[in-house]
Chain A
Amino acid sequence: GDSVTQMEGPVTLSEEAFLTINCTYTATGYPSLFWYVQYPGEGLQLLLKATKADDKGSNKGFEATYRKETTSFHLEKGSVQVSDSAVYFCALSKYNFNKFYFGSGTKLNVKP
């Protein structure tokens, strides 16, 4: 079945370090891919998305490229800030977005 696998956390970085959170997926057809972020005590918010192969989603300095050949959608940011500390979820969706499959989440801690 369809699924998403992302790297286990927590990931601990110093401020201004480079961030990569790996995400790979298994799906038939042509899913859309998403990164959501959950700040402490809050619900999930969409961070970025890509709806077809080779699309790059970007927002707030974060980027991810939809790679069909490697079935991946890794999240990157060139210079993290303390305020980026949160849990990040990779997700995929098919069939008009009615069903989402979420990864297990990766907690990011950024230290000053």
Chain B
Amino acid sequence: DTAVSQTPKYLVTQMGNDKSIKCEQNLGHDTMYWYKQDSKKFLKIMFSYNNKELIINETVPNRFSPKSPDKAHLNLHINSLELGDSAVYFCASSQAESEQFFGPGTRLTVL
């Protein structure tokens, strides 16, 4: 069974569109994260939720809005997509005193 899953794996869209990426974890973890990885592999945390509550919100444009309907799901909605949003987005989860488990990533390409 996949521990942390993301959909879709690839997303190609036009500038200005709105899109969502979904993440689910079946590990029973309390904390979930979204990261953005650029073309140079640099990994930047965007958001973190603990038990459906936002606990980390790094400097991210407000076009990005995370939503956690329950502690097993953390979705990322992006409005008015821009060229610079092209990247690989990773979801991760963790439990206190344990490491983070990452999903396989969603490669977003904005044309």
Residue of A whose beta carbon sits closest to that of B103: A43
A96 adjacent to B97 (CB under 8 Å): yes
B36-76 CB contacts (< 8 Å) to partner A: 40-43, 45, 48, 50, 55-56
Shortest distance in angstroms between A21's beta carbon and chain B's nearest beta carbon? 14
Pairs A-B, 5 closest by C-beta atoms: A43-B102, A105-B41, A96-B96, A44-B102, A102-B43
Name the contact of B104 in the complex, choosing from A43, A46, A100, A105 (C-beta under 8 A).
A43
Listed in ascending order, the chain A residues whose CB lies under 8 Å from chain B are 34, 36, 38, 42-46, 49, 87, 89, 93, 96-100, 102, 104-105, 107
Residues of A near B98 (CB, < 8 A) are 97
Some 7 contacts from A to B, beta carbons below 8 A apart, are: A43-B4, A44-B43, A96-B97, A98-B31, A98-B55, A98-B56, A98-B96
- Closest Cβ of chain A to B55, distance in Å, is 7
**Looking at A89, A97, A105, which has the most chain B CB atoms within 10 Å of its CB?**
A97
Interface residues, chain B, with chain A CB atoms under 8 Å away: 4, 31, 40-43, 45, 48, 50, 55-56, 90, 92, 94-105
In the complex, A98→B95 CA distance in Å?
8
> Smallest Cβ distance from B1 to chain A, in angstroms?
16
Residues of A within 8 A of B94 (CB): 97-98
Name the CB-closest residue of B to A9: B41
Chain A residue with Cβ nearest B91? A43
User: Once bound together, how far apart are the Cα atoms of A56 and B40, in whole Å?
Assistant: 29
Chain B residues contacting A36 (CB-CB under 8 Å) are 102
**Distance between Cα atoms of A100 and B32 in the complex (Å):** 12
List of A residues within 8 angstroms of B4 by Cβ: 43
Per the bound structure, the CA–CA distance linking A10 and B45 in Å amounts to 23
- Tell me whether B42 and A45 are in contact (CB under 8 A): no
Q: Which of A43, A96, A100, A102 is close to B105, meaning CB atoms less than 8 Å apart?
A: A43
